[in-house]
Amino acid sequence: MTRAEYRLAVAEQVILGWHCARSSGADLAGVWDSDATCTNESLLSAVDEVLLLAEIHAFPMASAARRSMQDALDVAVSCLMEEFLRLKVWDASQMEVRLGVRFAVGKFSMPAADSGVSLSLAFPTTGSISTASTIDELYASGGSQSSRVGAVTMLLDGEFFDELDLISPASLSVLHQIALRVIRAGYTKELLHAFTNAPCDVLDRFLTILQMECAFETDHVSFEDAEWWTAEDMIKRWILATKLVAKALAVMQRQLQAQSCGAFDRFKNDYFMAIAKNSIFVLLRFANGFTTTEAPDKLVYVLEMYEALSNATPGLLLLFTEQRVELVSRQVEVVLAKLARALRAMIGGLIARIRTADCPQTTGSAARGVGVHPLTRYAMTCVELLSPHRAALDLILANGAGESVTSLGSLVAVLVTSLERHLEEINPKLSNDDDDAVAAAAASRHLFLATNASYVARRAVDAGVEPLLGDGWAARRGSLIARYVASYVEACWAPVAACLETAGRKPVKVAAKFSSAFDEAYESQVHREIPDPALRDALRKAASEMVVPAYSAYLQNHPKLQKNVRHTAGELDRLLWELFEGEAAERNKLLL
């Protein structure tokens, strides 16, 4: 045995012995521990010995010793790759200390979502998704609610990341030593491949917010696969994770480029872009799971996901070199296009829901045919929730969602038109066909339509979408409400005033008939509730103008009735201005 063969045998024994023991499941230390401390000098020396023998071409090409050396070299490089993957290059501990919170890394359970979603719950009852509302779910312990909200606010502040040292200083020398040996061995491709599996403590902490391990391992994640979570909760988590990852990556790139890593410097860009691509692809696979849903109740959540990805994309693409950016950009564009297609389908479903929704009997003033219908509340809640997303919706709808819907403004117009056509078809059921019942039904119908039209106008202003509906929309809406008010007064109060026009009858009997008709109409209307003060006043004013002047003129023409009638003209006016207070009117009577 030559000296070179002896040196190889000694090194081979150490390397292969360690490799076999690790392969059998033994918990043996490598060259360095996760904190970059050298714990196995003999293994490192054995690796260096094999590298040296390969560099000096110690054995002939076809010799058995050369083959043994090559096998040992393969195992040695495999050992170095394993060491690299075990190395803790990025450190999130300083971040947790500064925030005073600990990220949850274990699984946890979420309450089951309701199996049935009623019409009124199809859209969320609050505005845009709040990152602060997820804090309790993102941390395992530590701090009050306010401190957790502050923690996430700090995390989303780029300056906070700049103040942290996210790179473990001890890892830099190890990166140099590993890279140096890989270059000597001629195995740089193997190191580049290892980058695709490189861990990153900082990014991994943020990606655990998603709490879906399958997202890291599969090409497609569907939210239907996690039935114990609500779609809202999942998307809130995804949006928060996306914002944090985007912030962290920008700072990590700057800090890595600022470090001198020796032989590893030539790999820094490839290394960083590999871990950046991995984290971005996790987020994209997660978002892709929501591209197959067409349920309208997911519209706002998926829309916020689309916006978050769109807003983060420019900054994320800047992280990559020209050679690498195309792949990431193409994948982002695919997911955005699929989300947009799903959103257009959801919008079509929303329009269909407004047009065809079942309108069951309800309680309260709506049950009496005059209140704001649940479908009206639902439609305008949708408008209000969609209005902050005008820019994204205009972009998505520009490609067409059918029904001539090409923007948020045209969508609102279609929703309102569809709603009003649907409401027009709602008619009170009559127990008989006598004139009084028909007149009462007509009055209720016009009051109902006026109430809902007024509600639509008010909510359109509150949502800030009125300017999107055109210059004449508000005027047309006012004219429509005025027509409904006039029709209501004509149906309910014109017959009362008509009692004074009875020719050839004694004034006393005419006054009595008028009073009876007025009392009957008043009692049928006084308990109805009109929540809109402007509409309430318009209705009172119109009713008063229909009845009071005619009654006042009749009393002036028959002065002898002044002392024998039940009400003066002034009293009638006061009573009419008490209408439409609902239950408040009854409480006021009791107080009197």
321 and 469 together in one domain: no
Domain boundary among 314, 330, 356: 356
Q: Exposed, middle or buried by CB within 10 Å (0-12, 13-18, 19+), for 360?
A: exposed
CB atoms within 10 A of CB 589: 10
546 and 576 together in one domain: yes
Please count the structural domains in the chain: 3
Domain boundary among 323, 356, 389: 356
222 and 275 together in one domain: yes
CATH of the domain at 476: 1.20.1280.170
82 and 97 together in one domain: no
Following CA atoms 438, 444, 446, 448 in sequence, which dihedral angle do they give, to the nearest 10 degrees? -150
* Close Cβ partners of 135 (under 8 Å, ≥ 6 residues apart): 145, 148, 149, 151, 152
State the greatest distance between any 2 C-alpha atoms of the chain, in Å, as a whole number: 143
Element (DSSP H or E) covering residue 141: strand 139-141
352 and 253 together in one domain: yes
What tokens appear for 436 in the block? 């009084």
How remote is the C-alpha of 7 from its chain's centroid? 64
273 and 314 together in one domain: yes
Give the C-alpha separation, 219 to 238, whole Å.
Answer: 17
What tokens appear for 524 in the block? 């049928």
Is there a domain that residue 195 lies in? no
82 and 98 together in one domain: no
CB atoms within 10 A of CB 338: 16
315 and 399 together in one domain: no
288 and 157 together in one domain: yes
Place of tokens 């499941």: 25
379 and 312 together in one domain: no
Structural domain harbouring 41: 3-86
Give the C-alpha separation, 58 to 424, whole Å.
Answer: 95
Q: What are the phi and psi torsion angles at 529 (to 5°)?
A: -115, 125
What's at 221, amino acid-wise? V
Is there a domain that residue 556 lies in? yes
Is there a domain that residue 136 lies in? no
Place of tokens 């390969």: 54
Give the C-alpha separation, 273 to 255, whole Å.
Answer: 14
Give the C-alpha separation, 235 to 304, whole Å.
Answer: 8
76 and 101 together in one domain: no
What tokens appear for 126 in the block? 């609050």
440 and 577 together in one domain: yes
Is there a domain that residue 294 lies in? yes
Is there a domain that residue 183 lies in? no
Is there a domain that residue 55 lies in? yes
SS3 125: coil
Predicted model pTM: 0.79
CB atoms within 10 A of CB 394: 16
- Cβ proximity of 129 and 239 under 8 Å: yes
What tokens appear for 556 in the block? 């002036």
Domain boundary among 303, 326, 356: 356
Element (DSSP H or E) covering residue 417: helix 408-424
Tens-level pLDDT at each residue, the chain (592 residues): 789 999 999 998 988 888 887 777 666 667 887 677 777 788 889 889 999 998 899 889 889 999 999 999 999 898 889 889 988 899 888 776 665 545 544 332 223 333 332 332 234 433 333 333 332 333 333 334 444 445 555 566 656 667 778 898 889 999 999 999 999 999 999 999 999 999 998 888 888 877 644 333 444 444 444 444 577 888 888 998 899 899 889 999 999 999 999 999 999 999 999 999 999 999 999 999 999 988 898 899 999 999 999 999 999 999 998 888 999 999 999 999 999 999 999 999 999 999 987 755 444 444 445 789 999 999 999 999 999 999 999 999 987 655 578 999 999 999 999 999 999 887 655 455 566 778 788 888 999 999 999 999 999 999 999 998 888 899 999 999 999 999 999 999 999 999 888 766 788 888 889 999 999 999 988 888 898 999 999 999 999 999 999 989 988 888 888 777 888 889 999 999 999 887 765 555 544 4
